[in-house]
Every structure is written in C-alpha cells, then in structure tokens.
Amino acid sequence: MKTKPAPDYDIAAQMAQLAADGIIGLKGAFSLAWADDMHEDMMTAFWSAIQRPGGAVSRGPRRWYVEIHPQAFRGFVDLITHPWVVDVCTNVLGSDYQIVEIGLDVPFQGAKYQPWHRDFPSPVETYRDRQITSLAFNLTGVDVTEDMGPFEVAPGTQYDDGREWKHEMFPAKALWGRFQERATRKYPQRGDVSCRSALTVHRGTEHQSPIARPVMVLGVDRPGAGHAELHDMMVTRDWYDALPEIGKKHLVSRVVDELVPITQKHDIEGLVMGADPS
C-alpha cells in the first residue's frame, strides 16, 4: 500500500466547514507514488473509453467524464477505507452511506469555462432542511497550476434552492455575479483529497496547459438519495469477495461473472457547450 498515515484533523471542525462552505479537504492523504499510480489508471481508462461509443461523455469542449469499474482503479480500496473518507461519510451521510460512483473527469488543452452549475437538482432535504445527502470526493492526478483550468467553487451555495434554474442545475447568467463574487480556485497537489456537496455551485475553468488534468471522482450517497440509478457499477465475484467488510457494506454494485464496458448514463446536457467567463 502506498498510502501514508493521515495527518491529524479535527472532524468536528471539518463538519462545521463543510456545512458553511460546502467543501473541505485533506492535504497529503496519500503518497505521491499512490497518486501517480492513480494517474496511470485514470489515463488508461480514459484512452480505452474514448474509443468506444458511450464510453465517455462530453462535459464541454475538450473535457470528458468517464465512469470506471472499481477494480480498474488499484487504489479503490485504499480510498474507501481511508479514515478521513470514512469519518466524513459517516458524519454527513450516516452509518449506512452508499458508494455509488467512481469515475474521472479529464480536461485537456483547449477546454473552456463551464457554466456555473451543480451536479444534479437539489432535494427538499437540502434546500429546505439544510441537510447534505450526497458527497463528491475528488483527487487530482497532477499538481494543479493556474494554466490547468483549476476547479472553481462558490462556497456556501450548496443550500441554494435552484428550482427555478435550468434543469434545476444551471443558474441563469444574470445570477452569475453572486457566484463569481464567492469564486475560489483550488490548486490541489498529488496526494490531496477534497470533499464537497455535489450541490455546491462550481465550474471548470479555461485549460491552457498542454498537460491534461485528470481528477478521480468518488460519489457517495445517503440511503434514498437516488443517484445509484445514474450509474452502473459492477465488480467480479473474486474481487468482491476480497473486499474488506467496510467495502462490502457500503459499495452499491452488481456482482458479475465478467466485466463489460460501461455505457455512461450521467450526461449533463448543459455542460456540452462551453461558457465564456463573464
């Protein structure tokens, strides 16, 4: 295993920050060697997926999303058993949280600004009751620099109602000023992990570097959140049987005799075209 002991963290303080900002992070959760293996696995999966129909979906010009099989990522078990990941999931989503997605987002040189958006419509539990029912963990495959189209987030927007937005996900351009006033760019380094509410308003920015910026995405739900149906995770019986009990408890996946290529389901229509930064 190429992980390293997690730095000390105050889970109560992290929960308070997540409630306030909709995003938190842990520096140096994994070793550089582990992150480099993850990078290799992501790019292998991408180049395989992009060659078959439905293997990758556009998230804007020169930007794609690819869902992968858990066992195609050598570090999957390390990730889902990391103490910080387990603590965050348990404290936010409860002891029966569900791992429903593993995939990667890859922008290349020429990727444009995305429109401000969230990943799916807000449930009443969030916009009315201020409860977070789903989380997205992100891990970068490269050390992010300014020219790599860094992720931009508008802290504190996870509780926005959004029912009047296009598809309940895309605020009208006339409303962008509020998000741009709050906008914070993130420059994670290899080995770092972040966690956000999938409803915190965010966007990818213009990617000018010749170096691609693959990002691993782990999606986790509170039971009943309903996002497992957007994905089709599958694992082989021998791989499933070798999982630690915590993996068997939380992973929502079909157990199959043989893996078949994944056809992507979570196509976010509003991200297919790029947006200007104004």
CATH superfamily to which 21-252 belongs: q2cbj1_9rhob like domain (2.60.120.620)
Report DSSP letters for the chain, one per residue. --B-PPPP--HHHHHHHHHHHSEEEETT-B-HHHHHHHHHHHHHHHHHHTTSTTSSEESSTTEEEEE--GGGSTTHHHHHT-HHHHHHHHHHH-TT-EEEEEEEEEE-TTPPBPPSB-SSPPPHHHHTT----EEEEEEESS---TTB---EE-TT-TT---TTSBTTTB--GGGHHHHHHH-EE----TT-EEEEETTS-EE---B-SSS---EEEEEEE-TT---GGG---EEEHHHHHTS-HHHHHHB--EEESS--PPPP----GGGSS-B---
Determine the Cα–Cα distance for residues 205 and 152; give it in Å rounded to an integer: 7
Contact 112, 205 (CB under 8 A): no
Give the separation between CA 200 and CA 179, rounded to whole angstroms.
10
pLDDT on residue 229: 74
Distance from C-alpha of 257 to C-alpha of 82, rounded to nearest angstrom: 28
Residue type, 189: Q
What's the pLDDT score for residue 271? 53
Q: What is the pLDDT of residue 272?
A: 46
Q: What is the pLDDT of residue 110?
A: 96
| 215-221 and 98-107 strand pairing | antiparallel
Side chain identity at residue 241, one-letter code:
D
Residue 255: strand pairing partners = 235
The pLDDT value recorded for residue 230 is 77
Contact 46, 254 (CB under 8 A): no
Domain regions of the chain by residue span: 21-252
Q: What residue ranges of the chain have pLDDT lower than 70?
A: 1-7, 265-278
For 182, other C-beta atoms within 10 Å of its C-beta total 15
Question: What pLDDT does residue 276 have?
Answer: 47
Task: State the residue for tokens 């195609």.
Answer: 72
Residue-level pLDDT at 6: 56
